Amino acid sequence: MRVPVVVATSLLAGACIGAPSPVPPVAATPITPPAPRPMLPPPPQLVAPDRFGLSGALRQGGLTLGHAPEGTTGLTLDGTAVAIAPDGRFVIAFDRDAAAQAVLIAALADGATLTATLPIAPGAWRIERLPTLRKVPVPGGEFARVRGGELAQIVAARARGGDAEGWRQRFIWPATGRISGLFGAQRIYAGEPGSYHGGVDVAKPEGAPVVAPADGVVTLAADPPFTLEGRLLILDHGHGVTSAFLHLSRIDVAVGQTVRQGAPIGRVGRTGRATGPHLHWAMTWNGARIDPMLVAGAMPG
């Protein structure tokens, strides 16, 4: 019989088939994780001015106190850094020729910013037009040489920062009497603007006492007198606020001395370029000229 032989042959053929060849492993391709997205700061938030607790004159020549929002680490006004006290209080001011708007920005600890646009009211300055008169030229020669040194001392005195806290106080008048010259007043000579009046003049007899309008530190006591300002005294009230007292007949304090509000600091005079005895009181904040009448209020009496 042939059937068994066929089966045996088939089984033998199956036994002769070899095991499959091993497949080489495929090399793993490393996977690079995607780069983390950069952390963007939160978008700036536009807020109302009252978020900064402002109190004071939002106008040309005005001075304003405020309180920084919680978490503020930096403050700027139109790009200029504003000092912040440990309790969050600050002071800002607006020059006689300030623009119609100012931008106050607080940088917060979480990277966010708060931005307030402040409307600045225009000042009502006394402008006198003299179409037939020419502006008096600035003297040269020896005056120019001396004047340069005087101006450098004034700039340095106003730039000195200190720990004075007078900027927080309600300012008082350093002398009381008839106001004979207004801040911001200006003459136009044949179409050419002259320098505007940078302070308030108070007409007083020579020798009348002058007192500190707020706490401060003496940063300049010009004696011998300067060519224009005469005997000049500058007080630093802190946080960029300064007072200057011109044409004094006598200065009763020294540079570096701390004075308290109401303390005597000098006497009214007519030194420098002055037509009669009076006190010229000028104020600045970080170089911006401000109106003492807006800071101290109406003249008493």
289 vs 15, residue with greater confidence: 289
Q: Where does the pLDDT of residue 26 fall: very low under 50, low under 70, confident under 90, or very high at 90 and above?
A: low
3-state secondary structure of 269: strand
DSSP state of 96: T
Distance, C-alpha 56 to centroid of its chain = 15
pLDDT in tens, 45-72: 999 999 999 999 999 999 999 999 999 9
CATH architecture of 127-296: Distorted Sandwich (2.70)
CA distance 269 to 267: 6
CA distance 118 to 77: 10
Q: If you write DSSP's letter for every residue of 54-77 in order, what string do you get?
A: -EE--BTT-EEEEEPPTTEEEEEE
CATH architecture of 45-119: Sandwich (2.60)
30 pLDDT more than 90: no
Query: What distances in angstroms separate CA 187 from CA 164, 181, 247, one per listed residue?
Result: 36, 13, 22
pLDDT in tens, 104-128: 999 999 999 999 999 999 999 999 9
Q: Which helix (H) or strand (E) holds 217?
A: strand 216-226
3-state secondary structure of 11: helix
pLDDT in tens, 127-182: 999 888 888 777 778 888 899 999 999 999 999 988 899 999 999 999 999 999 99
Domains 45-119 and 127-296 share a fold: no
The whole-number average pLDDT for the span 246-252 is: 99
Helical ranges in 31-188 per DSSP H: 142-159
Q: What is the structure's pLDDT at 19?
A: 52
Tokens at 112, concatenated: 């966010």
Q: What is the structure's pLDDT at 21?
A: 60
Sign for the pseudo-dihedral over CA of 145, 147, 150, 154: negative
In the chain, where are the structural domains located? 45-119, 127-296
